[in-house]
Structure 1
Amino acid sequence: MSAHELAEPYPHVSTDDDAIDAAQLLAEHKLPALLVVDTDGLPYAIVPGSQLLGQLLPEYALEDPRLAAVLSDEDLDEVPEKIRRLTVAEWLPRRRFRPPTVGPDAGDLQIAALMAGTHSPLVAVVEREGDQVRLAGAVTAARLMQRLIGGS
Protein backbone atom coordinates (compact mmCIF):
# COMPACT_ATOMS: atom_id res chain seq x y z
CA MET A 1 0.00 0.00 0.00
CA SER A 2 1.37 3.43 -0.87
CA ALA A 3 1.87 6.42 1.39
CA HIS A 4 -0.87 8.20 -0.54
CA GLU A 5 -3.33 5.46 0.45
CA LEU A 6 -2.09 5.26 4.06
CA ALA A 7 -1.91 8.99 4.74
CA GLU A 8 -4.62 10.57 6.82
CA PRO A 9 -5.30 14.21 7.62
CA TYR A 10 -3.30 15.08 10.72
CA PRO A 11 -3.78 18.21 12.82
CA HIS A 12 -0.76 20.48 12.62
CA VAL A 13 0.49 23.86 13.74
CA SER A 14 2.80 26.45 12.25
CA THR A 15 6.09 27.62 13.73
CA ASP A 16 4.43 31.02 14.25
CA ASP A 17 1.42 29.70 16.19
CA ASP A 18 1.14 30.11 19.96
CA ALA A 19 2.75 27.31 21.95
CA ILE A 20 -0.22 27.11 24.33
CA ASP A 21 -2.55 26.49 21.37
CA ALA A 22 -0.23 23.74 20.12
CA ALA A 23 -0.20 22.10 23.55
CA GLN A 24 -4.00 22.23 23.67
CA LEU A 25 -4.20 20.69 20.17
CA LEU A 26 -1.95 17.84 21.26
CA ALA A 27 -4.04 17.21 24.38
CA GLU A 28 -7.51 17.62 22.86
CA HIS A 29 -6.82 15.30 19.92
CA LYS A 30 -4.75 12.85 21.98
CA LEU A 31 -1.97 13.07 19.41
CA PRO A 32 1.23 11.03 19.79
CA ALA A 33 3.29 13.89 18.38
CA LEU A 34 3.03 17.46 17.26
CA LEU A 35 3.38 18.03 13.52
CA VAL A 36 4.82 21.48 12.89
CA VAL A 37 4.91 23.12 9.47
CA ASP A 38 6.93 26.15 8.42
CA THR A 39 5.44 29.34 7.02
CA ASP A 40 5.22 27.67 3.58
CA GLY A 41 3.17 24.79 5.01
CA LEU A 42 5.98 22.23 4.68
CA PRO A 43 7.01 19.82 7.46
CA TYR A 44 9.35 21.57 9.88
CA ALA A 45 9.31 19.22 12.88
CA ILE A 46 7.62 16.16 14.28
CA VAL A 47 8.01 16.20 18.05
CA PRO A 48 6.76 13.35 20.25
CA GLY A 49 4.56 14.52 23.09
CA SER A 50 7.06 13.18 25.62
CA GLN A 51 9.67 15.67 24.39
CA LEU A 52 7.20 18.52 24.66
CA LEU A 53 6.36 17.49 28.22
CA GLY A 54 10.05 17.77 28.97
CA GLN A 55 9.97 21.38 27.80
CA LEU A 56 7.43 22.12 30.56
CA LEU A 57 9.43 20.74 33.47
CA PRO A 58 12.20 22.33 35.50
CA GLU A 59 15.67 21.14 34.47
CA TYR A 60 16.31 19.48 37.85
CA ALA A 61 13.23 17.26 37.40
CA LEU A 62 14.57 16.05 34.07
CA GLU A 63 17.99 15.31 35.49
CA ASP A 64 16.53 13.28 38.36
CA PRO A 65 12.82 12.39 38.01
CA ARG A 66 12.65 11.60 41.74
CA LEU A 67 13.02 15.32 42.37
CA ALA A 68 9.73 15.91 40.56
CA ALA A 69 8.06 14.49 43.68
CA VAL A 70 8.78 17.79 45.43
CA LEU A 71 6.75 19.77 42.89
CA SER A 72 3.47 21.04 44.26
CA ASP A 73 0.11 21.94 42.76
CA GLU A 74 1.31 25.55 42.78
CA ASP A 75 4.18 24.52 40.49
CA LEU A 76 1.66 22.79 38.24
CA ASP A 77 -0.35 26.02 37.99
CA GLU A 78 2.74 27.74 36.54
CA VAL A 79 3.14 25.28 33.65
CA PRO A 80 0.78 27.06 31.20
CA GLU A 81 2.43 30.38 32.02
CA LYS A 82 5.79 28.95 31.04
CA ILE A 83 4.70 28.70 27.39
CA ARG A 84 1.86 31.21 27.15
CA ARG A 85 3.94 33.90 25.44
CA LEU A 86 6.02 31.58 23.26
CA THR A 87 5.59 30.65 19.63
CA VAL A 88 5.75 27.00 18.65
CA ALA A 89 9.26 27.54 17.23
CA GLU A 90 10.41 28.96 20.57
CA TRP A 91 8.83 26.08 22.53
CA LEU A 92 10.31 23.23 20.53
CA PRO A 93 13.33 21.40 21.93
CA ARG A 94 16.60 22.97 20.82
CA ARG A 95 17.75 19.74 19.22
CA ARG A 96 15.32 19.53 16.36
CA PHE A 97 15.76 16.89 13.73
CA ARG A 98 14.54 17.01 10.18
CA PRO A 99 11.09 15.43 10.18
CA PRO A 100 10.74 12.08 8.43
CA THR A 101 8.90 12.60 5.14
CA VAL A 102 8.06 10.45 2.15
CA GLY A 103 6.49 10.98 -1.22
CA PRO A 104 3.08 9.56 -2.11
CA ASP A 105 4.54 6.46 -3.79
CA ALA A 106 6.54 5.22 -0.78
CA GLY A 107 5.54 1.72 0.29
CA ASP A 108 4.36 0.62 3.70
CA LEU A 109 7.58 -1.22 4.56
CA GLN A 110 9.66 1.77 3.50
CA ILE A 111 7.57 3.97 5.78
CA ALA A 112 7.89 1.46 8.63
CA ALA A 113 11.68 1.39 8.25
CA LEU A 114 11.86 5.19 8.24
CA MET A 115 9.56 5.46 11.26
CA ALA A 116 11.56 2.88 13.21
CA GLY A 117 14.89 4.40 12.24
CA THR A 118 13.90 7.91 13.27
CA HIS A 119 11.94 6.90 16.41
CA SER A 120 9.06 9.01 15.15
CA PRO A 121 5.43 8.07 15.79
CA LEU A 122 4.45 9.49 12.41
CA VAL A 123 5.82 10.24 8.96
CA ALA A 124 4.69 13.23 6.92
CA VAL A 125 3.60 12.60 3.32
CA VAL A 126 4.39 15.36 0.86
CA GLU A 127 3.25 15.66 -2.74
CA ARG A 128 4.65 17.67 -5.61
CA GLU A 129 2.40 19.49 -8.03
CA GLY A 130 4.68 21.14 -10.55
CA ASP A 131 7.00 23.40 -8.59
CA GLN A 132 4.75 23.31 -5.53
CA VAL A 133 5.24 20.91 -2.62
CA ARG A 134 2.42 20.41 -0.14
CA LEU A 135 1.68 18.39 2.95
CA ALA A 136 -0.75 15.62 1.96
CA GLY A 137 -1.17 14.13 5.43
CA ALA A 138 0.66 11.77 7.73
CA VAL A 139 1.02 8.08 8.35
CA THR A 140 0.83 7.28 12.06
CA ALA A 141 2.40 4.29 13.76
CA ALA A 142 -1.09 3.08 14.69
CA ARG A 143 -2.29 3.21 11.06
CA LEU A 144 0.82 1.45 9.85
CA MET A 145 0.59 -1.23 12.54
CA GLN A 146 -3.02 -1.82 11.55
CA ARG A 147 -1.90 -2.31 7.95
CA LEU A 148 1.02 -4.59 8.77
CA ILE A 149 -0.61 -6.94 11.26
CA GLY A 150 -4.00 -7.46 9.80
CA GLY A 151 -6.16 -4.52 9.20
CA SER A 152 -7.23 -2.63 6.18
Structure 2
Amino acid sequence: MRAADMAEDFPVVPVDSDALAAVRMLAVRRLPGLVVIDADGIPCSVLPATEVVQFLVPQYVRDDPSLAGVLDEPMADRMAGKLSGHTVADLLPEEPAELPTVDADDTVVEVAAKMARLRCPLVAVLSGTTLVGVVSASRLLELALGQR
Protein backbone atom coordinates (compact mmCIF):
# COMPACT_ATOMS: atom_id res chain seq x y z
CA MET A 1 0.00 0.00 0.00
CA ARG A 2 1.24 3.47 -0.88
CA ALA A 3 0.93 6.70 1.09
CA ALA A 4 -1.63 8.10 -1.35
CA ASP A 5 -3.84 5.06 -0.64
CA MET A 6 -3.57 5.62 3.12
CA ALA A 7 -4.09 9.38 3.01
CA GLU A 8 -7.30 10.90 4.31
CA ASP A 9 -8.77 14.36 3.97
CA PHE A 10 -7.64 16.34 6.96
CA PRO A 11 -8.12 19.94 8.10
CA VAL A 12 -5.39 22.37 7.12
CA VAL A 13 -4.87 25.87 8.45
CA PRO A 14 -2.97 28.79 6.97
CA VAL A 15 0.08 29.80 8.97
CA ASP A 16 -1.34 33.30 9.46
CA SER A 17 -4.80 32.15 10.63
CA ASP A 18 -6.27 32.83 14.06
CA ALA A 19 -4.74 30.60 16.74
CA LEU A 20 -7.91 30.36 18.83
CA ALA A 21 -9.97 29.17 15.84
CA ALA A 22 -7.34 26.56 14.97
CA VAL A 23 -7.18 25.29 18.55
CA ARG A 24 -10.98 25.12 18.71
CA MET A 25 -10.88 22.93 15.60
CA LEU A 26 -8.30 20.69 17.26
CA ALA A 27 -10.44 20.39 20.37
CA VAL A 28 -13.86 19.94 18.76
CA ARG A 29 -12.66 17.35 16.26
CA ARG A 30 -10.25 15.74 18.75
CA LEU A 31 -7.42 15.89 16.26
CA PRO A 32 -3.81 14.96 17.05
CA GLY A 33 -2.64 18.02 15.12
CA LEU A 34 -3.15 20.17 12.04
CA VAL A 35 -1.28 20.58 8.79
CA VAL A 36 -0.16 24.19 8.41
CA ILE A 37 0.03 25.66 4.90
CA ASP A 38 1.79 28.74 3.57
CA ALA A 39 0.26 31.47 1.38
CA ASP A 40 0.67 29.23 -1.70
CA GLY A 41 -1.26 26.36 -0.08
CA ILE A 42 1.89 24.25 0.35
CA PRO A 43 2.40 22.46 3.68
CA CYS A 44 5.05 24.25 5.74
CA SER A 45 4.57 22.64 9.15
CA VAL A 46 2.50 20.36 11.33
CA LEU A 47 1.07 21.75 14.56
CA PRO A 48 0.71 18.86 17.02
CA ALA A 49 -1.85 19.35 19.78
CA THR A 50 0.98 18.84 22.27
CA GLU A 51 2.65 22.00 20.94
CA VAL A 52 -0.53 23.94 21.74
CA VAL A 53 -0.51 22.57 25.29
CA GLN A 54 3.13 23.65 25.56
CA PHE A 55 2.12 27.18 24.51
CA LEU A 56 -0.74 27.33 27.02
CA VAL A 57 1.06 26.09 30.12
CA PRO A 58 3.12 28.86 31.70
CA GLN A 59 6.88 28.33 31.60
CA TYR A 60 7.18 28.42 35.39
CA VAL A 61 4.71 25.51 35.66
CA ARG A 62 6.60 23.54 33.01
CA ASP A 63 9.80 24.20 34.97
CA ASP A 64 8.20 23.13 38.28
CA PRO A 65 5.19 20.84 37.70
CA SER A 66 4.41 20.77 41.44
CA LEU A 67 3.04 24.31 40.98
CA ALA A 68 0.24 22.93 38.80
CA GLY A 69 -1.46 21.51 41.89
CA VAL A 70 -1.71 24.87 43.60
CA LEU A 71 -3.10 26.88 40.69
CA ASP A 72 -6.82 27.52 40.84
CA GLU A 73 -9.46 26.95 38.16
CA PRO A 74 -9.64 30.63 37.14
CA MET A 75 -5.97 30.26 36.14
CA ALA A 76 -6.94 27.34 33.91
CA ASP A 77 -9.73 29.42 32.39
CA ARG A 78 -7.26 32.19 31.58
CA MET A 79 -5.07 29.78 29.62
CA ALA A 80 -7.47 29.92 26.65
CA GLY A 81 -7.29 33.71 26.70
CA LYS A 82 -3.59 33.35 26.04
CA LEU A 83 -4.46 32.43 22.42
CA SER A 84 -6.26 35.71 21.76
CA GLY A 85 -4.49 37.90 19.24
CA HIS A 86 -2.10 35.12 18.19
CA THR A 87 -1.73 33.34 14.87
CA VAL A 88 -0.95 29.71 14.16
CA ALA A 89 2.63 30.81 13.43
CA ASP A 90 2.95 31.88 17.09
CA LEU A 91 2.13 28.34 18.22
CA LEU A 92 4.82 26.68 16.13
CA PRO A 93 8.19 25.88 17.70
CA GLU A 94 10.82 28.59 17.38
CA GLU A 95 13.26 26.14 15.86
CA PRO A 96 11.58 24.84 12.70
CA ALA A 97 11.55 21.07 12.68
CA GLU A 98 11.88 18.92 9.61
CA LEU A 99 8.60 19.01 7.72
CA PRO A 100 6.76 15.71 8.23
CA THR A 101 5.93 14.91 4.63
CA VAL A 102 6.07 11.78 2.53
CA ASP A 103 5.77 11.21 -1.18
CA ALA A 104 2.49 9.81 -2.49
CA ASP A 105 4.37 6.71 -3.69
CA ASP A 106 6.04 5.96 -0.33
CA THR A 107 5.27 2.62 1.30
CA VAL A 108 3.65 1.94 4.68
CA VAL A 109 7.09 1.28 6.16
CA GLU A 110 8.47 4.57 4.79
CA VAL A 111 5.52 6.47 6.25
CA ALA A 112 5.91 4.73 9.61
CA ALA A 113 9.66 5.39 9.65
CA LYS A 114 9.16 9.12 9.00
CA MET A 115 6.46 9.39 11.65
CA ALA A 116 8.56 7.52 14.20
CA ARG A 117 11.76 9.43 13.48
CA LEU A 118 10.07 12.83 13.74
CA ARG A 119 7.81 11.77 16.63
CA CYS A 120 4.92 13.42 14.85
CA PRO A 121 1.31 12.17 14.95
CA LEU A 122 0.69 13.10 11.30
CA VAL A 123 2.49 13.23 8.01
CA ALA A 124 1.36 15.19 4.98
CA VAL A 125 1.27 13.18 1.75
CA LEU A 126 2.50 15.15 -1.25
CA SER A 127 2.48 14.60 -4.95
CA GLY A 128 5.11 17.13 -5.98
CA THR A 129 4.00 20.17 -3.96
CA THR A 130 0.29 19.26 -4.00
CA LEU A 131 -1.21 18.02 -0.75
CA VAL A 132 -2.89 14.66 -1.40
CA GLY A 133 -4.00 14.12 2.21
CA VAL A 134 -2.69 13.19 5.61
CA VAL A 135 -1.77 9.94 7.30
CA SER A 136 -2.31 10.02 11.05
CA ALA A 137 -0.67 7.64 13.49
CA SER A 138 -4.07 6.13 14.29
CA ARG A 139 -4.76 5.55 10.56
CA LEU A 140 -1.36 3.95 10.12
CA LEU A 141 -1.94 1.63 13.08
CA GLU A 142 -5.43 0.78 11.85
CA LEU A 143 -4.02 -0.28 8.48
CA ALA A 144 -1.08 -2.14 9.99
CA LEU A 145 -3.31 -4.11 12.37
CA GLY A 146 -5.96 -4.72 9.72
CA GLN A 147 -3.42 -6.39 7.42
CA ARG A 148 -2.66 -9.13 9.96
Match of 1:136 among 122, 132, 137: 132
Which residue does the alignment assign to 1:124? 124
Query: What does 1:1-152 align with in structure 2 at a 5 Å threshold?
Result: 1-128=1-128, 133-151=129-147
Q: After TM superposition, give the deviation of residue 82 of structure 1 in Å.
A: 1.0
Per-residue deviation, 1:121: 0.8
Per-residue CA deviation, residues 30-86 of structure 1 (Å, 9 max, x unaligned), is 011122111111111113212210100111111121111122122122112211101
- The answer (yes or no) to whether the contact 2:20–2:84 under 8 Å persists in 1 is yes
**How far apart, in 2, do the equivalents of 1:98 and 1:37 lie?**
14
Across the aligned residues of Structure 1 and Structure 2, the Cα RMSD in angstroms comes to 1.5
TM-superposed CA distance for 1:125, in Å, is 0.5
Q: Where do 5+ consecutive residues of structure 2 fail to align?
A: none
- TM-score, normalised with respect to structure 1: 0.91
Note the residue ranges of structure 1 that are not aligned, 5 or more in a row. none
Task: Between 89-98 and 115-124, report the one with greater CA deviation.
Answer: 89-98
Give the whole-Å Cα distance in 2 for the aligned partners of 1:56 and 1:151: 39
Count, aligned residues: 148
Question: Which stretch of the first structure deviates more once superposed, 116-125 or 71-80?
Answer: 71-80
Does the CA contact (< 8 Å) of 1:122 and 1:138 recur in 2?
A: yes
Q: Distance in 1 between matches of 2:81 and 2:40?
A: 29
User: Partners in 1 of 2:72 and 2:14 — Cα distance?
Assistant: 32
Superposed structure 1 runs of 4+ greater than 2 Å apart? none
AA aligned opposite 2:56: L
Name which of structure 1's ranges 92-101 and 59-68 shifts more when overlaid on structure 2.
92-101
Aligned equivalents of 2:114, 2:98: Cα separation in 1? 12
